[in-house]
Chains A and B, each alone.
Chain A
Amino acid sequence: ETGVTQTPRHLVMGMTNKKSLKCEQHLGHNAMYWYKQSAKKPLELMFVYNFKEQTENNSVPSRFSPECPNSSHLFLHLHTLQPEDSALYLCASSHLPGPESYGYTFGSGTRLTVV
């Protein structure tokens, strides 16, 4: 395990379902991120949370709703998704930049298939 745990690993959902993705880190990081990775495309940043506050929403449709109850947990709530939302969803965490700049730690991802 990388220190960032994502569940579930795989998810198949219908377009009318509601589901949630979970991410957990115990690295002492204070920033968490959701990324989307579609086939043949670079990773796309979706949301950024710093100290539980959302600081970035990268023009993500409202059918994706993030939640960050504390600096160790991050959720992505899904509802009325479209087949084109099928992708690998990756969670990451990091320290905020300071005198020394740190890297990102990624989870193993949730493979989402919308049918």
Chain B
Amino acid sequence: KQEVTQIPAALSVPEGENLVLNCSFTDSAIYNLQWFRQDPGKGLTSLLLIQSSQREQTSGRLNASLDKSSGRSTLYIAASQPGDSATYLCAVRHYSGSARQLTFGSGTQLTVLP
């Protein structure tokens, strides 16, 4: 059974810092890995999608890496801003019986202090 773990569960940093969020998964047989952002009480916004054959993806101040063999991904946020405060969720799309499923971690709650 695929399990996804995110560390740390919560993180508080001053504005301007660079930071790294970690995600690990137990089964390396994945289609892709997706990082999402969720604001309180809201839905999920996709940030980056990394295919299983890729090593990293970049979008603006965000960079996500994938090491499939070791079951790890990181989300790097450069020059953090108070508007980056949200919960960041990692999810892997993987084979599971007859359906392709997306399994989520519990998220990292990020607070960027002005």
Q: Establish whether residues B52 and A101, one from each chain, have CB atoms under 8 Å apart when the complex forms.
A: yes
B44 touches A106 (CB 8 A): yes
A60 within 8 A of B: no
- B28 located at the interface, meaning its Cβ lies under 8 Å from any Cβ of chain A in the complex: no
Contact status A48-B101, CB under 8 Å: yes
| A114 → B minimal CB distance (Å) | 17
Number of A interface residues in the complex (CB < 8 A): 28
B45 within 8 A of A: yes
**Set of chain B residues within 8 Å of A41, measured between Cβ atoms:** 106
Q: Are A43 and B104 in contact (CB under 8 A)?
A: yes
Total number of residue pairs linking A and B with CB closer than 8 Å:
66
Q: Does A90 contact B (CB under 8 A)?
A: yes
The interface residues of chain A lying within 8 Å CB-to-CB of B34 are 103-104
Inter-subunit contact B100/A108 (CB<8 Å) = no
Contact A103-B99, Cβ < 8 Å, known A42-B106, A111-B41: no
**Known A-B contacts A48-B99, A101-B51, A103-B34; A108 and B42 likewise in contact (beta carbons under 8 Å):** yes
**Which residues of B line the A interface, CB within 8 A?**
4, 31-32, 34, 36, 41-46, 49, 51-52, 89, 91, 93, 97-107
